[in-house]
Chains A and B, each alone.
Chain A
Amino acid sequence: MDRDKRDVMVGQPLIQNIVENVESVVVGKRREIELSMIAMLSGGHVLLEDVPGVGKTMMVRAIAKSLGAEFKRIQFTPDLLPSDVTGVSVFNQKSMEFQFRPGPVMANIVLADEINRTSPKTQSALLEALEEGSVTIDGETRNLQDPFFVLATQNPIEYGGTYPLPEAQLDRFLFKFAIGYPSDIEELDVLNRVEKRHPIEEVTPVTTLDELVVMQREVLDVYVDEIVKRYIVSLVNASRKHAAVSLGASPRASIMLMKASQAYAYMQGRGYVLPDDVKFLAPYALTHRLLLTSDAKLTNTTAETVVSELLNQVVVPTGKEMTR
């Protein structure tokens, strides 16, 4: 990409359209919508840890509708089997051959609801799909659709009857955040909107999946300067050295943070990543990847406070060495 035309991004207004489209359904959650779009643009997936009924499904459905994408929902239950997720080959007696019945994961946008209520076996079937972008059924590897975006939700861990996701699995999600309750005014607004008819039904596509793929490619062209990369590395590195952390963020975290920053810059119509982008995304991208020491847990230190400490401590590079 031409360096000097970095500000001119074809997809940026489209993204804004999608965000506004979704916002008409999910009131007052612009940041969460944007984060979801960032994840989608950079090929990552999102884990929502939230109580039921705050509009997770609505958000995903609205995104899917705005893109005109295929949307599937998997409700995870303790008795769900891996094949219920990925699909299964069934013998067709008419044609006398096995026929593949795709599971719900074979869609562009998948809502994996209450992922921590199912068995680890089924969880890992989904998570393999997240990481590889493909599933293997009966020895046959099948590619998932492109673009592919999963929004998983989990109940807060304190709730009973859950199988918490292990750290390795958590690491596969780009972001983890909560939607949270709307404010009074927003909730009132929600009531007014759904009074006659649910606004989701009025959502119309504003773009196509092809355009989304183009945008995903454009995101890769967003320039990340060496000093910004170094900033990401020092942030992630610092998380590994923090006293309250027993297991810090992985190199995968660095990669994902960088890609997400590119997508965020892209969304703002900027052709290069600022440390501000990294700083903004770091809490969502790093918090769920840190395993705190038991001491820290006893003193009520949370991963959120650790990340905000890191952000306050790690020096933001300002290119002092540059003499241009």
Chain B
Amino acid sequence: MSLLHKPNQSIFHGLVYGLMFFLLWEWLRPFPVFTDTGELHVFVWFMLVCFVVVFLQLGFVLSFVVVLFASVYGLHEIFYGGAFFSADGGLLTVQHLWGEVVHNVGLLMAWQLYEVTDPFRTFVMFLLLALVSYLLYYWLFYSRGIVVFVLATVVYVAVLDTFTNVEGDAAIVRIVVTSFLLLSLLHLVRVRGQVFNAQTMRKVPVTWVVLLIVVVVVSTSVGFAAPKYEPQWRDPVPVIEEALSGELFEMSDLSLSSPSNGGGAQQVGYSDDDSELGGGFSQNTRTVFHAETDQVGYWRGESKNIYTGRGWEADEALVDADHFDYPMFSDVVDATEHKASVTFTDEADFHLFFYPGQMVEVNEESLSYDIDDGLTPEFLTDALHGSVGLYEGSANVRLNEYEMTFQSPSFDQEMLREAPKDDPDEVTHYFTDLPSDLPGRVGDLAEEITEGTDNRYDQAKAIEAYFKEEDFSYETDDVPVPEKGQDYVDQFLFETRRGYCDNFSTSMVVLLRTLDVPARWVKGFTEGDPLAQLDDGVQRYEVSNDNAHSWVEVFFPEIGWVPFEPTIGYDNDVEFEADSEEVSLDIDLDNDENEEDRANEEDADLEEDLESSQEEDESEPSTSDGEDEKDEGIGAASWFNAQSLFASVIVMAFVVVAYRMRYRLIGLYFLVYYRRFGHDERFGQAYQRLLWMLECKGVHRYEGETLREYAERVDELFSKPSMRYLTEQYEKLCYGGCVDHLDWKRDQKLWEDLLKEASS
């Protein structure tokens, strides 16, 4: 036990230092994932050797020899192989290594860092590990502050987890456990160091350690098992990527995003060409339009009817129209009429109108658009696909602003279930076609999903629910493009099972069509982010490229086109009333009760009623907000975009720097000010400024200290007699009431020198 006579070498210290080893291990673990490092176990073993050597305090020479030997052995293991203790083993390695060192030092001198060879890099890495293990020992037992290292470890893992493929989940749990133990034990070391003598410190406080382990294990398990919130921020990576590259993309590119054959990432947005779907896309938060309405809903743009196996195309069916006579749904559907106004941003380029529910009318006075000189566009509707736009030959029409009236439907589930099945021939012709090479298993799957249903509504609902119940995942980045000859839907349903709205909606349409249910693929935007509550329940929404969306419409004879939402994490606002009679009954009951209440409390305070109604008013928007957030799938804050992040980072950095440099800046201001405006009569003021600056910089003048005493201290600090001199001048002014002796030109230099020294 002679070893244990050195300080910090008890078993207890070994325990603490061992925990440190595990913490450092966490730094090595992700190496193979984000670098081309292999043979990690060699590094870990080497680290262990270093820790033991440092802990035993073998003295510099012996430690150095052991570490050097260990690193040579490690290099041998990694690069050269074979038996180490043989003629062409270790010796050869040493020779090689020597050659490497000579070669690479030359490279380093020439600053050719890319040329540095792997063995040398590994050797440097070994040295670094050895250094770090000593540093940690010092941190642990001499500075006794390890929080910074623990925090750095957490940040390291978190950053890797966010920006690389490293999975940090388990690492974080391990780090938490290790750090808790480490910090507590270190604290114990500190406390015992204060209270007990060195002899008691050598013993491991078993009870204490056991208790600690129990507490840490229990709290960690509870934390691990407890339900947790989903991430409250969206993944910052796309935002940062966009911040770095976003300026390069123009809005017009989005509207015409070219099909990506090589699997390159597209940007999210509304695109005209859907003939080639698939592939990931990156986020784009640019605003497309602002809308003001009292009824939210998906903003429908157009639909497409021809599924090609790779994407969507549409039959041309434009008709000149004075009014929008294409029925989205017939009169049997309950619908309420609402108004909305839409204002596109400068970057948006659309000739289509976007509308929730069913368009009734566009207010022509409010209409504003851009078109080439001398041309007048006309309204053209496409009854087949339910779209309306402004057209003028091949000229480009660009909508700026419009107001419209629309109907927001509320479908009765029973009515949908009991809808007849005799579709008009036109509908059957256009909306049930499928490519002939569609794999049969898609149809089989549709049969399987809808088994036990006997009507269109339940079929559609079953398919809609299928995506949400099965192990499909919403994914925008890592979405593969179908290979040549592969069907887009088939790939999604049976292979990848991850994708975004296009995958889900197209698959649902195709699944429905295999059951001969007429369905079409609809494009538009989701309702957008609520910005501000305006008067009369009207809310302002911001619809951005992020909100570009596609969904499904299913045809019900005598009723019309009913929207469905298969995409995970999205929810359409279309109402499906469960049972109109029951609902109305409930309402009646409620009303009765209310009336009874009122009758009973005739002398109830009028103010109370007012208050309660106000409360109701206030609570409404908040609940709808909540719903909106849920609809988005993730609670993304609209202000958290690249610009605001960047701006705040810059502002924060500026503020921090300015704050850290405040005295220097103020000192600079004084210098400039008195160079410009300084004269004899301002000497007193200038001297006071100097006193203030000294005080700020920690040269404190005690309460009972006279200026002269203070000046002597200051002069001692700066080793020159300027303060004493200036103070004498000031004393004469302040206590002697004299002004004639003052000469700013003469004293300015001294004052400036002192001020510079004080403020730096």
Contact = CB atoms under 8 A, between A and B. Distances in A.
A322 B691 CA distance: 14
B703 A272 contact: no
A316 B706 contact: yes
Interface in A302-324: 310-316, 318-320, 322-324
Contacts of A79: none
Contact of A228 (B683, B685, B735, B740): B735
A228 B685 CA distance: 19
A133 interface: no
B735 A6 contact: no
17 contacts: A3-B737, A4-B740, A223-B736, A225-B737, A227-B734, A276-B706, A279-B704, A279-B706, A312-B704, A314-B703, A314-B704, A316-B704, A316-B707, A319-B735, A322-B734, A323-B685, A324-B733
Interface of B: 681-685, 688, 691, 702-709, 731-741
B734 A223 contact: no
Given A312-B704, A316-B706, A223 B737 contact: yes
Contacts of A314: 703-704
A263 interface: no
Contact of A316 (B681, B682, B705): B705
A3 B738 contact: yes
B736 A322 contact: no
B737 A272 contact: yes
A270 B736 CA distance: 9
Contacts of B739: 324
Contact of B731 (A3, A274, A322): A274
Given A227-B735, A274-B735, A311-B704, 20 more contacts: A4-B741, A6-B736, A272-B732, A272-B737, A272-B738, A274-B731, A275-B706, A279-B706, A316-B705, A316-B706, A316-B707, A318-B688, A318-B691, A318-B734, A319-B733, A320-B688, A323-B685, A324-B682, A324-B685, A324-B733
Contacts of B738: 3-4, 6, 272
Contacts of A257: none
Contacts of A323: 684-685
A274 B704 contact: no
Contact of A274 (B682, B684, B691, B708): B708
A248 to B, nearest CB: 17
Contacts of B732: 272
B733 A272 contact: no
Interface residues of A, number: 28
A323 B681 CA distance: 9
Nearest to A270: B736
Interface string A256-287: 00000000000000111111100100000000
A275 B735 contact: yes
A108 to B, nearest CB: 33
Interface in A196-241: 223, 225, 227-228
B710 to A, nearest CB: 9
Which 5 residue pairs across A and B have the least CB separation, nearest first?
A272-B736, A319-B734, A312-B704, A324-B684, A276-B706
Contacts of B740: 4
A100 to B, nearest CB: 48
A276 B738 CA distance: 18
Given A276-B706, A314-B704, A316-B705, A271 B684 contact: no
B685 A312 contact: no
A119 to B, nearest CB: 42
Contacts of B684: 319, 322-324
A324 B686 CA distance: 9
A275 B711 CA distance: 14
Nearest to B734: A319
A6 to B, nearest CB: 6
B156 to A, nearest CB: 51
B129 to A, nearest CB: 56
Nearest to A309: B704
A158 B738 CA distance: 50
Contacts of B731: 274
A270 B738 CA distance: 12
Nearest to A314: B704
A324 B736 contact: no
A273 B732 CA distance: 9
B708 to A, nearest CB: 5
Contacts of A311: 704
Nearest to B680: A324
Contacts of A271: 736
Contacts of B737: 3, 223, 225, 272
Given A315-B703, A323-B684, A324-B739, A276 B734 contact: no
A223 B683 CA distance: 21
A12 to B, nearest CB: 16
B417 to A, nearest CB: 88
A218 to B, nearest CB: 16
A225 B736 CA distance: 7
A162 B174 CA distance: 84
A273 B734 CA distance: 10
A270 B731 CA distance: 11
A225 B705 contact: no
Given A276-B708, A276-B709, A312 B735 contact: no
Contacts of B704: 279, 310-316
A262 B155 CA distance: 68
Contacts of B706: 274-276, 279, 316
A1 B740 CA distance: 15
A273 B702 contact: no
Nearest to A311: B704
A276 B709 CA distance: 8
Contacts of A310: 704
A226 to B, nearest CB: 9
Contacts of A312: 702-704
A311 B706 CA distance: 10
Contacts of A273: 735
Contacts of B736: 3, 6, 223, 225, 270-272
Interface in A137-157: none
B687 to A, nearest CB: 9
B681 A324 contact: yes
A59 to B, nearest CB: 29
Nearest to B681: A324
A225 B684 CA distance: 16
Contacts of A6: 736, 738
A315 B710 CA distance: 13
Contacts of A318: 688, 691, 707, 734
Interface string A61-72: 000000000000
A223 B739 CA distance: 14
